[in-house]
């Protein structure tokens, strides 16, 4: 072989080697590009997560401040895919609403609000009359007065409520020398909520209200009483509290019967930390709330802190009527159950898309526009004062069509998001619930969401921040009893202290327990 042929072969070999090296470098570059894309995706996810938790910690979580005005007409999206024109129109509307919202906030911050009255009209008035010095009535005639009002207060005052029983003897029996044969008469000791106890009904009512209305731990209540001149121990307060709750238990049971006989209830759960004596620490328990969606009465149920399906079965398994809940999976067992109609809560669905705003503002805003249109219709009907029949018709004519549009929109975007992304979680939560979410249109009495029962739970959440936990399961049951009766007082517009004092006075002798319920209270 000639030298020239050998050189050609060598060059061909070198070329092949270089081509292989280039290919290897290209593959390495692709691997690095993919790695960079993955790392960027991770970084973006972490940034979104940081923004989300920063908002949870420091930002406003109220859905009232969403930059979306449901009253603004949005484009109808029947197609499975948005056209560029539709998308541009939607983006323009969202931007417009954001600007409107920003202007509203700016104007609101500078607008001087009308001063609200600071005191009730029925507050007692004590007058202090002041006369100018040196006025001789013979020389001056009074022509009028000028008044200046100030708010004054007397510190709470402890006093002794002394019952004096007058004792009588028959005059004719005074001639009898033997006192045992004399005829005496004395009124019996009035029956009290705690027999032979030192605490009056007003004091017992004050203890319960301090704890469950003003959310004071018992040690603060004890401190307050000490400053007023009465020294009570923690065990004494605890015993009184337990005794009162035991006496209120029949009322609590009657309230439950009344609520569970309603044909429309709302159900929700909330955490309630409870001390576990075996673990010697607080564990997360749950308390359930059932609200009569027609009259507003509330029943709290505690079952050893459980949130299980078995607890739900004991609570609503035998119920016949409409049950409104969030998307918690234990309620799925009652979908299609005889005698039950399950309806969903649009507020919970909306909350999922609100959480997705920082991750994918565009698609989350589109979802919120649909939900906002539903709430816009509800607001219009409320302002118009429509009756249940008219509300039902308006919902079936307008709201149901929006729900169908929303369903088509979710179908069109569902494959764009990972299931574990916040937008993906919002879609996974909402889409299967659409049958339940749409049923509120069937009856004008139904609410679009479960906010009524969530509002009833709010005092419990505030109390939880103050006294942190319940001492044991029995204490949690007692909390459920008191919260149920107090929440029902609030729902009926009844002063809690007035109701409780009157009820504690009447309870020892009252045979008609139903008459003592907040719904039947007449003062």
pLDDT in tens, the chain (523 residues): 567 777 777 777 878 888 888 888 888 888 887 777 767 766 766 666 666 556 555 555 555 544 444 333 333 333 334 456 655 655 665 565 556 555 544 544 455 556 566 666 778 888 888 888 888 877 888 888 888 887 777 777 888 988 888 888 887 776 676 666 667 788 888 889 998 889 999 999 999 999 999 988 899 999 999 988 899 999 999 999 999 999 999 999 999 999 999 999 999 998 888 877 666 677 888 999 999 999 999 999 998 888 899 999 999 999 999 999 999 999 999 999 999 999 999 999 999 999 999 888 999 999 999 999 999 999 999 999 999 999 999 999 999 999 999 999 999 998 888 888 999 999 999 999 999 999 999 999 999 999 999 999 988 878 777 766 787 888 889 999 999 999 999 999 999 999 999 999 999 999 999 999 999 997 6
| Cα angle 209, 453, 63; round to 5 | 110
pLDDT computed for residue 107 by the predictor: 45
Placement of tokens 């609410």 in the chain: 447
The helix/strand/coil state of 491 is helix
Cα separation, 383 vs 399, in Å, equals: 17
Cα separation, 482 vs 241, in Å, equals: 10
Cα separation, 270 vs 305, in Å, equals: 10
- Residues paired with 343 in a beta bridge: 324
pLDDT computed for residue 111 by the predictor: 55
Query: Are the C-beta atoms of residues 163 and 189 closer than 8 Å to each other?
Result: yes
pLDDT computed for residue 383 by the predictor: 95
Dihedral pair phi/psi, residue 272, rounded to 5°: -150, 95
Cα separation, 345 vs 437, in Å, equals: 6
Give the pair of three-digit tokens for residue 233: 């121990």
- Of 250, 204, 249, residue with least CA distance to 511: 250
pTM score above 0.75: no
Give the pair of three-digit tokens for residue 508: 């020892």
Cα separation, 260 vs 97, in Å, equals: 43
pLDDT computed for residue 236 by the predictor: 93
pLDDT computed for residue 373 by the predictor: 95
- Please report the sign of the dihedral spanned by the C-alpha atoms of residue 430, residue 431, residue 436, residue 440: positive
Cα separation, 329 vs 142, in Å, equals: 77
- Of 475, 474, 498, residue with least CA distance to 486: 498
- Of 399, 492, 415, residue with least CA distance to 449: 399
Helix (H) or strand (E) holding 340: strand 340-343
How, if at all, do strands 184-186 and 298-302 pair?
A: unpaired
Helix (H) or strand (E) holding 7: helix 3-58
Per domain, the residue ranges of the chain are: 346-449
Give the pair of three-digit tokens for residue 497: 């202290």
The helix/strand/coil state of 81 is coil
- Of 346, 345, 365, residue with least CA distance to 355: 365
């Amino acid at each position: 072989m000639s030298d020239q042929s050998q050189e050609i072969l060598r060059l061909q070999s070198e070329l092949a080697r270089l081509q292989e090296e280039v290919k290897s470098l290209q593959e390495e570059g692709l691997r690095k590009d993919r790695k960079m894309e993955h790392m960027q995706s991770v970084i973006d996810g972490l940034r979104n997560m940081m923004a989300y938790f920063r908002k949870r910690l420091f930002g406003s979580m109220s859905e009232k401040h969403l930059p979306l005005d449901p009253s603004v007409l949005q484009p109808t999206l029947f197609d499975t895919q948005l056209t560029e024109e539709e998308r541009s129109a939607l983006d323009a509307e969202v931007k417009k609403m954001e600007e409107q919202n920003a202007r509203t906030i700016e104007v609101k911050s500078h607008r001087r609000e009308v001063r609200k009255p600071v005191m009730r009209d029925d507050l007692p008035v004590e007058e202090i009359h002041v006369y100018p010095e040196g006025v001789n009535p013979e020389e001056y005639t009074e022509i009028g007065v000028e008044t200046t009002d100030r708010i004054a207060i007397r510190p709470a005052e402890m006093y002794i409520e002394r019952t004096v029983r007058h004792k009588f003897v028959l005059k004719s029996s005074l001639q009898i020398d033997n006192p045992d044969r004399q005829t005496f008469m004395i009124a019996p000791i009035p029956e009290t909520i705690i027999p032979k106890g030192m605490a009056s009904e007003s004091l017992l009512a004050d203890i319960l209200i301090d704890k469950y209305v003003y959310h004071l731990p018992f040690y603060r209540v004890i401190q307050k009483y000490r400053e007023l001149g009465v020294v009570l121990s923690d065990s004494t307060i605890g015993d009184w509290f337990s005794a009162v709750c035991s006496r209120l238990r029949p009322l609590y049971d009657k309230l439950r019967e009344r609520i569970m006989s309603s044909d429309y209830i709302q159900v929700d759960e909330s955490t309630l930390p409870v001390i576990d004596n075996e673990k010697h620490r607080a564990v997360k328990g749950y308390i359930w709330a059932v609200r009569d969606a027609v009259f507003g009465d509330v029943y709290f149920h505690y079952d050893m802190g459980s949130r299980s399906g078995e607890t739900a079965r004991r609570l609503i398994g035998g119920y016949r009527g409409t049950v409104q809940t969030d998307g918690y999976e234990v309620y799925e067992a009652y979908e299609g159950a005889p005698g039950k109609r399950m309806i969903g809560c649009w507020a919970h669905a909306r909350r999922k898309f609100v959480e997705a705003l920082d991750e994918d503002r565009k698609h989350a805003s589109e979802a919120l526009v649909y939900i906002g249109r539903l709430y816009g219709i509800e607001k219009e009907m409320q302002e118009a004062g429509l009756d249940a029949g008219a509300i039902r018709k308006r919902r079936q004519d307008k709201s149901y069509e929006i729900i169908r549009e929303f369903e088509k929109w979710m179908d069109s975007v569902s494959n764009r998001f990972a299931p574990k992304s916040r937008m993906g979680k919002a879609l996974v939560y909402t889409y299967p619930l659409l049958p339940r979410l749409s049923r509120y249109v069937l009856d004008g009495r139904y609410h679009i969401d479960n906010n009524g029962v969530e509002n009833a739970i709010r005092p419990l959440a505030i109390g939880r921040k103050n006294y942190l936990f319940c001492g044991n399961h029995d204490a949690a049951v007692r909390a459920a009893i008191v919260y149920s009766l107090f929440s029902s007082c609030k729902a009926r517009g009844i002063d809690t202290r007035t109701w409780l004092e009157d009820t504690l006075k009447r309870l020892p002798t009252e045979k008609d327990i139903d008459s003592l319920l907040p719904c039947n209270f007449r003062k």
